[in-house]
Amino acid sequence: MHIERLVEMLNDIAANQAADPDNAVAAIAQHLKRFWDPRMRAQISAHLAAGGEGLCDAAKEAVKRL
């Protein structure tokens, strides 16, 4: 899948959790586990491992928890 699209989707999820900063990272990670197909999660994890270009900080932290 286009990594740019996955990055945009993940950043959107993160932006919508930003109002609750104490729980944001856990909520983002939980969302990915519940709704993203494993190949999408694998791809975003690989992208983070390669530097995570474009991902916001909360998204990066959440991907680390996958």
Partner 1 sequence: MRSKQECDLGTPASASAERVTLTIDGHSVTVPAGTSVMRAAAEAGIAIPKLCATDSLDPFGSCRLCLVQVEGMRGTPASCTTPVAAGMKVTTQNDRLAGLRRNVMELYISDHPLDCLTCPANGHCELQDMAGAVGLREVRYGYAGENHCDKPKDESNPYFTFDASKCIVCSRCVRACADVQGTFALTIGGRGFDSHVSAGVEQSFLESDCVSCGACVQACPTATLSEKAIINRGQPEHSVITTCAYCGVGCSFRAEMKGSEVIRMVPAQDGQANRGHSCVKGRFAFGYATHPDRITSPMVRASIHEPWREVSWDEAIAHAASELKRIQAKYGKDSVGGITSSRCTNEETYLVQKLVRAGFGNNNVDTCARVCHSPTGYGLKQTLGESAGTQAFDSVKYADVIVVIGANPTDGHPVFASRMIQRLRQGAKLIVIDPRGIDLVRMPHVAATHHLKLKPGTNVALVNAIAHVIVTEDLIDHAFVAARCEQPAFEKWRKFIAEPQHSPEASEALTGVPAAEVRACARLYATGGNAAIYYGLGVTEHSQGSTTVMGIANLALATGNLGREGVGVNPLRGQNNVQGSCDMGSFPHEFPGYRHVSDDATRILFEAAWGVPLDAEPGLRIPNMFEAALDGSFKALYVQGEDIAQSDPDTQHVTAALEAMECVIVQDLFLNETAKFAHIFFPGSSFLEKDGTFTNAERRISRVRRVMPPLGGKADWEVTVELSNALGFPMHYTHPSQIMDEIARLTPSFTGVSYTRLDQLGSIQWPCNDEAPAGTPTMHEVEFTRGLGRFMLTPFVPSHERANDKFPLILTTGRILSQYNVGAQTRRTQNSLWHAEDRLEIHPHDAETRGIEDGDWCGIKSRSGETVLRARVSEAVQPGVVYTTFHFPESGANVITTEHSDWATNCPEYKVTAVQVIKVSHPSAWQERYARFSAEQQKLLDERETLAR
Q: Which residues bind partner 1 (CB under 8 A)?
A: 1-2, 5, 8-9, 12-13, 15-16, 18-20, 31, 33-40
Q: What is the closest distance, in whole angstroms, from the C-beta atom of residue 16 to partner 1 in the complex?
A: 5
Neighbours of 48 (CB within 10 A): 20
Nearest distance from C-beta of residue 48 to partner 1, angstroms: 18
- Cα dihedral 62/22/56/3 (nearest 10): 30
Compare residues 1 and 49 and give the one whose CB is closer to partner 1. Answer: 1
